[in-house]
Chain A
Amino acid sequence: MTEPVALIELAGIGKTYANGTVALGGVDAAIREGGLVSLVGPSGCGKSTLLRIVAGLIAPDRGAISWPASGARPSDIGFVFQDATLMPWARVTENVYLPLKLQGIAQDKAMPRVRDALARVGLAEFSDAFPRELSGGMKMRVSIARALVTEPPLLLMDEPFAALDEFTREKLDDDLLGLWLAHRFTTVFVTHSIYESVYLSERVLVMGARPGRILADIAIDAPFPRGRTFRESQAYVETCAKVSAALREGAAI
């Protein structure tokens, strides 16, 4: 088996904020093309900062980010925030159309793609609704549809389901896995939930705070699709314990 090519390669990434806080103190990591990786860690460990650096929204002070598989940062990156971050004045369709609109694609040409993205997240009938008419989980689905409408090779998610209730979160985790299995976009998923990180990903990068750094790199071998059987398996419980132990070790230092 040949080693898959890394899409993202982080070498010694460091970021210090103006107030002197060291958000990231040298992060090295490689994420393979088509992979699904979680960053898990306590608040303040710089995981969101790292995600924004990958997205190109902020520049690192030290270190370099390279893109071995594609040569450059993909021009299309899907980004999902902790809040759905929808435009409240625009209908669901218009919100999902936004990325294509900003790329200069005419509405009539974009509509089939918008409808397709909404169908994929199960919101086809809600295309004319305004965001305030939707539940928290539905808003998050719109946000995911918006991130996927350009069919990006890379999806970055910053604690996307943290504000949702447990049932909705589990449902959305499964939906995300389904979408990932169908399209295999490289996904970096930031979360502070150990369970979510283990359930979702192929690999969990455990991060520690002050300064933000990677404490452990834990592979999760369970096959996809995962479901209730995996959630209730011994392997799942053991992996959660392993991630939890890595986090505790980091906190003790």
Chain B
Amino acid sequence: MNSRFARILVPLLVGIAFLALWEGLVRASGVKPFVLPAPTVIAESLVQNFASLMASLWVTFRVTLAAFLLAVVGGVGLAIVFSQNRLIETALFPYAVALQVTPVISIAPLIIIWVGYDRVEIAVLILAWIVAFFPILSNTTLGLRSADHNLRDLFRLYGANRRQVLTELQLPAALPYILAGMKISGGLALIGAVVAEFVAGSGAATGLAWRIVEAGNRLDIPRMFAALFLLSTLGICIFFALTFLERRLLRHWHESAMRREI
């Protein structure tokens, strides 16, 4: 079995076999579609509701992407501030941890009330950002500290200033850590957006999570599955996009991104 071909083909075959089995069992047993719809029924619903589902996908995607990008900027930015000033780090890091360990679902109602029901999308953005922010902060903080000590000495020897140490040494050394944090945060941003929409509920939000709630209320289970399918696809795309970015940026030098010949 050839590696690259097999890596795509084998999971694909498993997926097709699973769908076929699902279809066959649903048809043979006569389970009602509002309990478990067959894959073909789900596909049909996807086609029928294509416009509204796509509009919702766009909403969810937009919020997730915005939250993710703000988390990257905020996380890397705050980590840089931390690396420049130990006092600020000591003062603020515990609160960053507190924000992280508080389950987002428990603060979602509060944030939504504060922001207002007429601007739910902003509340969703804030909640998704809270969830996505911490992995980037902690990974970048670790990465900025992980630069080779001898290289640091070398920079000192040549009279490098703080900015040079940061841009020429610490940030490049932290890049693999930042990218690893981004991979975690990409998924978390989506989770945060979905959770926030669930809590917001009641038609104020228009993303895919709301489509799921709505379809559930109407017992339109095929449509619920269709929305779920799009949500998973979005998550997978985010993951692969970030993996691709990681490979591109690190392929020349970092062990994690190198192809081994032997």
Chain B residues with CB below 8 A from A57, complex form: 153, 156-157
B24 at the A interface (CB under 8 A): no
Contact yes or no, A85 B148, CB < 8 A: yes
Report Cα–Cα, A57/B150, bound state, in Å.
11
Q: Indicate if the CB atoms of A79 and B175 lie closer than 8 Å.
A: no
Q: A132 — which chain B residues lie within 8 A by C-beta?
A: 252-253, 258
In the assembled complex, A55 has its CB within 8 A of some CB on chain B = yes
Q: Assuming the A-B contacts A79-B153, A85-B150, A103-B159, are A130 and B168 also in contact, with contact meaning beta carbons closer than 8 angstroms in the complex?
A: no
- Which residues of A96-115 are within 8 A (CB) of B? 98-99, 101-103
Contact between A102 and B160, CB atoms less than 8 A apart: yes
Q: Is B113 an interface residue (CB 8 A)?
A: no
Closest Cβ–Cβ distance, residue B230 to chain A (whole Å): 38
Instruction: Report A149-170 CB contacts with B as 1/0, cut-off 8 Å.
Output: 0100000000000000000000
Given contacts A57-B157, A79-B154, A85-B148, contact A102 B164 (CB under 8 A): yes
Residues in B211-260 with C-beta less than 8 Å from chain A = 252-254, 258
B22 contacts partner chain A, Cβ-Cβ < 8 Å: no
Contact A130 B252, CB 8 Å, known A85-B150, A85-B151, A102-B168: yes
A52 to B, closest residue via Cβ: B153
The yes or no answer to A83 lying at the interface (CB within 8 A) is: yes
- Say whether chain B's binding surface is mostly helix, strand, loop, or mixed: helix
B169 at the A interface (CB under 8 A): yes
Flag whether B155 is at the interface (Cβ < 8 A). yes
Which residues does chain B contribute within 8 Å of A99, judged by CB atoms? 158
Give, as a whole number of angstroms, the nearest-CB distance from B38 to chain A: 51
Q: Point out the residue from A52, A87, A103, A150 that lies within 8 Å of B151, measured CB to CB.
A: A87
A82 to chain B, nearest CB (A): 8
Q: In whole angstroms, how far apart are the Cα atoms of A173 and B156 in the complex?
A: 27
User: Contact between A102 and B158 (Cβ–Cβ < 8 Å)?
Assistant: yes
* B15 interface hit (Cβ, 8 Å): no
A-B pairs, 6 with minimum CB distance: A102-B158, A88-B253, A85-B150, A81-B150, A102-B160, A89-B253
Q: A89-B253, A99-B158, A102-B164 are in contact. List 18 more A-B contacts (CB 8 A).
A: A56-B157, A57-B156, A77-B157, A79-B153, A79-B154, A79-B157, A85-B150, A87-B151, A88-B254, A89-B172, A89-B175, A90-B172, A98-B168, A101-B168, A102-B158, A102-B159, A131-B253, A132-B253
A-B contact pairs, 25 of them (CB 8 A): A52-B153, A57-B156, A57-B157, A79-B154, A81-B150, A85-B148, A85-B151, A85-B154, A87-B151, A87-B169, A87-B172, A89-B172, A89-B253, A90-B172, A98-B154, A99-B158, A101-B168, A102-B159, A102-B160, A103-B158, A103-B159, A130-B253, A131-B253, A132-B252, A132-B258
Q: Which residues of A contact B (CB under 8 A)?
A: 52, 55-57, 75, 77, 79, 81, 83, 85, 87-90, 98-99, 101-103, 130-132, 150
